[in-house]
Homo-oligomer: A and B are copies of this chain.
Amino acid sequence: MLARRAAGLATSFPAPHFPSELASQVIPFDSGFAFPGVLPDLTRFAQVALTTHREEALQYAPTQGNPELRAWLADYMNADGCNLTARDIIVVNGAKHGLDLISRLLLDEGDSIVVTAPMYFTAIPIFRSFGVQFIEVGQDRDGLRVEELEEIFAYFEAEGRRPPKLIYNVVDYHNPTGVTMARTRREALVDFAVRRGVCLVEDNPYRRVRFEGDPLPCLKALDRARTVFHVGTFSKLIAPGLRIGWIAADPDSVARLMQLKSDGGTNPLIQRMVLEFCRSEAFAAHVVRVQTAYREHRDRMVAAVRRELPQAAITLPHGGYYLWLSFPEHVDCDALARSAAAAGVNVIAGTRFFAPAVDASGRRRAPPRNHLRLSYSYATPEQIDAGVARLAAALRSQIAA
């Protein structure tokens, strides 16, 4: 009776992962929620939207999104090295909705897509629901290993199979690894995609949540052949609950995405609120506040991990919400995540971030079990210290047992 894509789903409800559902003493290093202290005061922007722009805010919105917001987004990305107009942008209900729409545009059952190992785990079920096969590409501290793509595509050619349809990546402050992709790798990735005629899906939620250093060009800024679908969002910079994101792509693809976006338009009240906030003097100050707060959280967590968990190797993330811990190979982080939860600190085992994938030679490998992802976004600095100490104690008990 059910569709194939739905029949395989478990009938149990997903586990709770909203901080509000947790006991107050639990420390949520598993949460991608915003730090409550940096949520902006949006009351006056809501007031303006519901009075000055009342009819716009309450009627259906245009499918492509508020034209003024699209123009603002084009300017915002152009100040960051892109070359866009409002026509190149479609507003969507958050980045996940953007990934879903791009999948609808590009993917048929049986297609292959290339993803990093590990990858942003919420994207796994989205792509999976389109019946695709995941092909893994490795990463190092410079990001996605572009040279492996040649192997992957050569393998497909040798097997007489259709090559992968898209390559999915988070180039800035990768989730979960925190890695920033090196500039030469970015250029090589775009070159590869143009040469092979494969689409790049650049998911870039953390770009402005940057702590130090100059930004490297995003893939869209390097795009010169309409190869890149850039997915942006206000969730990590302003507030997750806004559910406003965007896709920047070529106008033909944007037109097709509009036809696939049969949802009555993205919320016009929220679009107007975001636009008024972004245009106000409050926006720049807010960005600084966000960067400062999460930099402090990162520094606090890095110091705590170096102090309490010297066995864990880390790469310092220069932005974003996450710290990726790599333990010696014998440490089982699935078990550690369970014992940490029992000790009052929620973390996510690294195995959760690996798609059910095959590598360049078609082999399926078990994901490594010696990684953990810690989020420093939602916890307070005091909770960060206490949570890392609890995690270290859980590891000591595991080793002693």
- Contact residues of A with B, CB < 8 Å? 1-6, 9-14, 18-21, 32-34, 36, 39, 41-43, 46-47, 50-51, 54-64, 93-97, 100, 104-108, 122, 125-126, 129, 165, 197, 199, 235, 239-243, 252, 255-256, 258-260, 262-270
Question: Nearest 10 A-B pairs (CB), nearest first?
Answer: A58-B239, A46-B46, A241-B268, A58-B241, A60-B240, A94-B264, A9-B259, A39-B58, A43-B50, A6-B105
Question: Which residues of B sit under 8 angstroms from A33, Cβ to Cβ?
Answer: 59-60
Contact of A256 among B11, B50, B126 (CB under 8 A): B11
Residues of chain B within 8 A (CB-CB) of A34 are 58-59
Tell me, rounded to whole Å, the shortest Cβ–Cβ distance linking A17 to chain B: 9
Whether A6 and B260, one on each chain, are in contact in the complex, defined by CB atoms closer than 8 angstroms, is yes
B-chain residues with CB within 8 Å of residue A107 when the two chains form the complex: 3
Take A43-B47, A50-B42, A104-B5 as given contacts and tell me if A264 and B240 are in contact as well, using a CB distance cutoff of 8 Å: yes
Report the minimal beta-carbon distance from A168 to chain B, rounded to whole angstroms. Answer: 15
| 13 additional A-B residue pairs with CB within 8 Å, beyond A2-B106, A95-B264, A241-B268 | A3-B105, A3-B106, A5-B260, A9-B259, A13-B258, A21-B62, A34-B59, A60-B241, A93-B263, A97-B264, A126-B262, A243-B266, A269-B270
Is B255 a contact partner of A59 (Cβ separation < 8 A)?
no
Q: Give chain B residues whose Cβ lies under 8 Å from the Cβ of A4.
A: 108
Q: Which of A21, A58, A268: most chain B CB closer than 10 A?
A: A58
Could you give 29 example pairs across A and B, Cβ below 8 Å?
A: A1-B106, A2-B105, A3-B107, A3-B108, A4-B108, A5-B260, A6-B256, A6-B260, A9-B260, A10-B259, A13-B64, A13-B258, A19-B59, A39-B59, A43-B46, A46-B50, A58-B239, A58-B240, A58-B242, A59-B241, A60-B235, A93-B267, A100-B263, A122-B262, A241-B265, A241-B268, A241-B269, A242-B267, A243-B266
| Inter-chain contact B63/A14, CB cutoff 8 Å | yes
Nearest chain B residue, comparing its CB with the CB of A45: B50
CA gap between A60 and B19 in the complex, in Å: 10
Residues of B within 8 A of A266 (CB): 243
How distant is the Cα of A268 from the Cα of B108 in the complex, in angstroms?
Answer: 33
In the bound complex, residues from chain B placing their C-beta under 8 Å from that of A239 are: 58-59
- Whether A96 contacts B263 by the Cβ 8 Å rule is yes
CB distance from A216 to the nearest CB of B (A): 27
Nearest CB in chain B: distance from A379 CB, A? 14
In chain B, what residue has the closest Cβ to A254? B13
Specify which chain B residues have a CB less than 8 angstroms from the CB of A55 in the assembled complex.
Answer: 20, 36, 39
Do residues B3 and A104 form an inter-chain contact, with CB atoms below 8 A?
Answer: yes
CA distance A258 to B42 in the complex (A): 29
Min Cβ gap A320→B in Å is 17
**Alpha-carbon gap, A96 to B265, bound state (A):** 10
User: Measured between C-beta atoms, what is the minimum distance from A3 to chain B in Å?
Assistant: 5
How long is the Cα–Cα vector from A211 to B32 in the complex, in angstroms?
47
Contact of A235 among B63, B97, B264 (CB under 8 A): B264
Complex alpha-carbon distance, A122 and B63, angstroms: 13
| C-alpha spacing A196/B36, complex, angstroms | 52
Given the interface contacts A47-B46, A100-B262, A129-B104, does A1 sit within 8 Å of B243 by beta carbon? Answer: no
The distance from the CB of A251 to the nearest CB of chain B, in whole angstroms, is 9
Residue from B61, B106, B265 within 8 A of A6 (CB atoms): B106
B residues in contact with A41, CB < 8 Å: 50
Residues of B within 8 A of A5 (CB): 104, 260
Q: Which residues of B contact A56 (CB under 8 A)?
A: 20, 241
- Say whether B13 contacts A165, CB under 8 Å: no
Q: In whole angstroms, what is the CA distance A126 to B264 when docked? A: 12
Q: Indicate the member of A39, A235, A264 with the most B CB atoms within 10 Å.
A: A264
